[in-house]
Structure 1
Amino acid sequence: MLKKFSRFVTALDDVAEAGSRRSAQRLGRRSFLSILGGALVGGTALPMLPFDRSGGRAHARGVKDDMACEYWRYCALDGFLCTCCGGTVSSCPPGSEPSAVTWVGTCQSTQDGKSYLISYNDCCGVTSCGRCPCNYNVGERPGYRMGVHNDINWCMANDRGSYHCTVAAVIGVSAAG
């Protein structure tokens, strides 16, 4: 039995050696490394595909309730909705003040199909509302492009820097829309 296994291993070794020699004659080291690297990177990315980051938004975009995260103006909002905290979609609740700086997004209206520029202002000065948390990242860019990044406490520019909630005010029609 051991002799048969030994012959099998030797035969397997001979096949592997012959295959290695043939590929070494046809391919260079760099070509082999590039193919191997592509396979490794592609193999690690494969389990991530497909990955739906919409959070159901693709099916719920027609929601007309401004107290729901799926409301069209909130497509790039990250924070608590001011409509759930005593404010409106475009004004801060009593006792809080809009942030001196803001981030912008472009969202498509479900009513008319046009794209609008939305100014997302954090409302500052009172403790966090904690109701209706939303985190949508359509069009968000890395943190080094501050004006289009939504993970920053924009209240840092105000005298009273505590974050309360976020409003989504329409500031114009998008040129692309």
Structure 2
Amino acid sequence: MEPLAEENKKLKEAMNLSEKNIQRAQHEQDLAELNARDLEYQKGGLTEKLAAVSEQVQSQSEQLATVSGKLKSSFEQLERKTKQLNSVSKQKAEQDAELGQMCQAIDQLRREKAKEAKRAYKLAEELKGEFLLVGITVEEAKVQKENFDAIIATIKPVLDCVDLELATQHDGRRQHSDTII
């Protein structure tokens, strides 16, 4: 019996080992099921988070598109303003050139004015001497006018007495009115 006892013993050991393996397999299956449920739960949470993040990304994408449109519009405005600024700068440069020419013309006029002032000063100096002569001549003219007025005052009563009728001429000529008879 001994071989049967040994075999029985081996069979018991194999059964114990088999039960342990079954228990271990059952425990591992329970762990796997628990892990699967945990993974499903995590998957649900991650799916919700993924949906929320996806919505945020979509919202940010729309915001980026709006901002991009605004940036494009601002860039176009900036280009227009740059063109206007270049035009104004060109006009300013032209005005500066004109101003430079005007300044040169003004400087030339100032130099000419200074020359004319020197000439006028010299002329004034020359005229000072002549002015004295003119002053003397004016005084003489006043004296002569007073003399002439005195002569007229003396002659006028005599002329009032003279008749200015035209006399007839013997030879048929006409008498002039300036002839006093």
TM bin, normalised by shorter chain, reads under 0.3
TM-score normalised by the chain length of structure 1: 0.20
TM-score normalised by the chain length of structure 2: 0.19
By relative contact order (CA 8 Å, sep 6+), the higher-ranking structure is 1
Richer in strand (by share)? 1
